[in-house]
Amino acid sequence: MEKTRSWEEEYGFPFLYDGVRLLDMLEEYSLVRQEKEEEKRRARAEVEVERLDALKASKTRELVIKKKEELDEICRQAHMDADPSIENEKIMAIIDSGMFDPSELLASMDLQISKAKEDALSRTDIMEKVEKWMSACEEESWLEDYSRDQNRYNATRGAHLNLKQAERARVTVNKLPALVDSLMAKTRSWEEEYGFPFLYDGVRLLDMLEEYSLVRQEKEEEKRRARAEVEVERLDALKASKTRELVIKKKEELDEICRQAHMDADPSTENEKIMAIIDSGMFDPSELLASMDLQISKAKEDALSRTDIMEKVEKWMSAYEEESWLEDYSRDQNRYNATRGGRPFFWQL
């Protein structure tokens, strides 16, 4: 361009190249070249900006994920629900959109972490009791299974260890009602202080405790009914056993009266029938025993009314035996022989 200008100054007219002034061509080329260089710089700048934005987003993503994990761990240990606005998907969507201020986002995360720590700290006393309650519930469940095991007292390997564990579990389970009452009182106090429900894994703790108390009461009531039924069965069995003994004793007394008086007993008082009535359980012991006493009394009266006749019957039976013996003796052809025993026979005549 300098040479062309010098040439034009020297000769006094434009330097043309194929009819076009060379200086115009060179100036146009320089302008186009500058524009291209500027465009390249802008492109490099845009690439660098994009790289830095991507790096910023990546670093922000890493920091946010780290803080989110810290927040989740705090909430997990305290059994709290995290703020729905800071769910991973929502945070990642904000970061990917690029429409965010990293400092504000990280500051928001720090604020959430700080608040979660404060909430977790306020729940410490209650959570300690909840852990004790949960542990005691596990002991209670194990003890129920152990109590249902029909072979728990068998001399098997480890039986003595289970027995010791059952003793410890009973001690723990006996403390459960007081523990639950204390936990409910603390939870109500906490809710009154903070003005919102105490949630445990998204469920109101008071509702959990009330439901547990209701279920436990139902179980205790069922156990009481079962024990009452067992006791009733035991008493019924004992009553039947004692009644059986008394009835057998009275039946023996009745049979002895009838035997001595040579009377037939009432068929309704046969052993099989009486035992069947007792075993069926469909009887009133007092009525049964009263019936037996009545039978005995009647048998005694009948025996007494037969006394005179029975005395004569005994004499008659004795005489009949003598008569029978005499007939046998009379038929004996050797009755007068001097054999051993003959003399006493003769004397009996």
pLDDT band per the 50, 70, 90 thresholds, residue 319: very high
Model pTM score: 0.59
The chain-wide mean pLDDT, for the chain, equals 84
pLDDT above 80: residue 118: yes
Q: Quickly tell me which residue has 């003769």 as its tokens.
A: 346
The C-alpha atoms of residue 85 and residue 108 are separated, in whole angstroms, by 11
Given a contact cutoff of 8 angstroms between Cβ atoms, the answer to whether 265 and 254 are in contact is yes
Mean pLDDT of all residues in 35-41: 91
Least confident of 93-102, 106-115, 295-304, 317-326: 93-102
> What is the structure's pLDDT at 134?
92
Of residues 96 and 9, the one with the higher pLDDT is 9
> What is the structure's pLDDT at 185?
95
The C-alpha atoms of residue 147 and residue 11 are separated, in whole angstroms, by 124
The C-alpha atoms of residue 190 and residue 119 are separated, in whole angstroms, by 11
pLDDT above 50: residue 101: yes
Measured between alpha carbons, how far is residue 284 from residues 277, 280, 296 in Å?
Answer: 10, 11, 18
